[in-house]
Amino acid sequence: MTAPSHRSFDTAVPLEAPQDLVGFEASHSLAAIAVRRRLPFGLVLSFVFVAFLIAASIAPSLFTHFDPLVGDFSEGLKPPGWAHLFGTDRLGRDVFARTVFGTRYSLLIGFGGVAVGLGAGIVLGIIAGQRNRILDEAVSRLFDMLSSFPGVLLAMLIVTFLGQGMLNIAIAVGIAGIPKFGRVVRAQTQLIRDADYVTQAAIYGLSRWQVFIRHVLPNVLVAIPIIATVYIGSTILIVSGLSFLGLGPQPPTPEWGVMLAESRDVLRVAWWPGVFPGLAITATVIAFSVIGNHLQQRFEGRLA
């Protein structure tokens, strides 16, 4: 039995273990279980939902005629009904419209964060995956160090330096996510460098550099979109958490975390502003997780 480290455990989870809480990694590993038990219906549903999300990000006015930023002041806090599908908030704004328009923020910041983390993680992971023991140790310690800060707190520290706002929390979340991307890429790199065809290429006389560029790198990069999809869900969770705390987009931006924060004062008399944005977040995270893990299962065989 291989020596356990605090970072991995010998279970059915194919990739490195989770290191942050509140669904960061859970979504991917749990969905792995779900997918393996063959829930194609869930998969189809997820695809459809994600397609809808992307459409809502690009052209939200297709789905609603209300203005998410300006409401009718005499229609404040109306419950869900025919006129307003999700009801109205305290300034008379249509909650459904705000939820739909809010999609783009969550997706944008989520993808942005993943991009940042992935970008740095790829570089570091490839370096670590080489046969150089020292480099591997050094980069792995770097990952350990980064992941010893709880994700939320590390993101908050970065926001303290950079200031609030969408771009900054994307960067903060990205940096906090470097370890997990880096470790995956590292594992992938190690897997490929030990593969037969790579060894054969070396035997044929290709230099190490040529082997790397022509064989190792492309196969590592192929995995990237899959990795991104797997982790986008957990990234969206932490992004909306930071927005809820007030560190991301500011009101009146209809970002889901912001909407949930605003809903708290009126919860006693109006449940709808506090329910629907949260549903949106949960559904989005589930959908991406299911898809991501399905992709991961399917392409796992082809990667090595």
Dihedral sign for Cα atoms in the order 14, 19, 20, 21: positive
Q: How far is the CB of 277 from another protein (least distance, A)?
A: 8
Q: Which is nearer to another protein, 56 or 247 (CB)?
A: 247
Radius of gyration of the chain (CA): 22
Q: Which is nearer to another protein, 152 or 223 (CB)?
A: 152
Q: Which is nearer to another protein, 33 or 62 (CB)?
A: 33
Q: Which is nearer to another protein, 9 or 299 (CB)?
A: 9
- Integer Cα distance of 138 and 142 in angstroms: 6
| Cβ–Cβ < 8 Å for 290, 43 | yes
Dihedral sign for Cα atoms in the order 71, 75, 81, 82: negative
Longest dimension (CA), the chain: 78
Q: How far is the CB of 195 from another protein (least distance, A)?
A: 28
Q: How far is the CB of 168 from another protein (least distance, A)?
A: 11
Q: Which long-range contacts (CB under 8 A, 24 or more apart) does 165-168 make?
A: 165/248, 165/249, 165/250, 166/105, 166/108, 166/109, 166/112, 166/248, 166/249, 167/112, 168/247
Q: Which is nearer to another protein, 219 or 293 (CB)?
A: 293
Q: How far is the CB of 184 from another protein (least distance, A)?
A: 16
- Integer Cα distance of 128 and 16 in angstroms: 15
Q: How far is the CB of 109 from another protein (least distance, A)?
A: 14
Q: How far is the CB of 266 from another protein (least distance, A)?
A: 6
Q: How far is the CB of 215 from another protein (least distance, A)?
A: 32
| Cβ–Cβ < 8 Å for 198, 129 | no
Written as one string, the DSSP assignment of 11-61 is SS--SPPP-STTTTTHHHHHHHHHHHT--HHHHHHHHHHHHHHHHHHH-GG
Q: Which is nearer to another protein, 68 or 125 (CB)?
A: 68
Q: Which is nearer to another protein, 1 or 134 (CB)?
A: 1
The Cα-based distances of 274 to 91, 260, 267 in angstroms read: 15, 5, 7
* Three-class secondary structure of residue 225 per DSSP: helix
Q: How far is the CB of 56 from another protein (least distance, A)?
A: 18
Q: Which is nearer to another protein, 223 or 237 (CB)?
A: 237
* Three-class secondary structure of residue 304 per DSSP: coil
Report phi then psi at 231, rounded to 5.
Answer: -95, -5
